[in-house]
Amino acid sequence: MKSRVLLTALFVVLLTGLVCYANDVMINGDFEVVDPNNADRPLAWSPQAFSTNSSFAYVYDPAGAFSGSRYVAITVPTRDDRGQWGQEFRDLPAGDYKLSLYYRIDEPLVTVGSAVGSSVRILRLTKSWEKVFPDTMYDVDNYTFGEWEYAEFIFEVTPEVEVIWIELFNWFGVGTVYFDAVKLEKVN
């Protein structure tokens, strides 16, 4: 009898976990799965430095991660540099989507003029890379006092959108930005 109750309780816990993440279409948003072809990056994520001197880190830090044991970082050494971790999605159903994530900045990012610093960009394109919507940039704070901060953004996907790029940025902000626990969920 005890084993049946224990199995039932375990099933309920597992089912609850599956339901919580059933709407999340982000691949490896917790960064826990290592790319089997490149141990320096998480599966399904690509770094891009835009021909600048930015650097990227795939960090194993169980004590410092927001969730799990891994997260990603982007370090920008000068005001002329920028970098991103990005992920592509194809043929998502039309509707409204919520992108949520946690980010951390241990030392204030140094920005000048219209430089953004820490942000998220969403590109909504056709398969021939024509923009269906203008670039959507969501700025987040440039200093979190070393604490993980939550951010979420709602955006629309129309039937014309065939490709979506989610990009986690450090855009001309001298310093390092960390990202973890990224989710992309259809909300209607």
How do residues 63-93 score in pLDDT, each as one tens digit? Answer: 999 999 999 999 999 888 899 999 999 999 9
Q: Which two tokens stand for residue 23?
A: 């709407």
Residue 84 identity: Q
Residue 56, pLDDT score: 96
Give me the residues paired with residue 118 across strands: 170
Contact yes or no for 83/174 (Cβ under 8 A): no
Which residues of the chain, if any, have pLDDT below 70? 1-22, 112-115
Whole-structure pTM value? 0.85
Residue 42 identity: P
Instruction: Measure the N-to-C terminal CA separation of the chain; round to a whole number of Å.
Output: 42
Residue 6, pLDDT score: 31
How does pLDDT run across 142-156, given as a tens digit for each residue?
888 999 999 999 999
Residue 10 identity: L
Residue 18, pLDDT score: 36
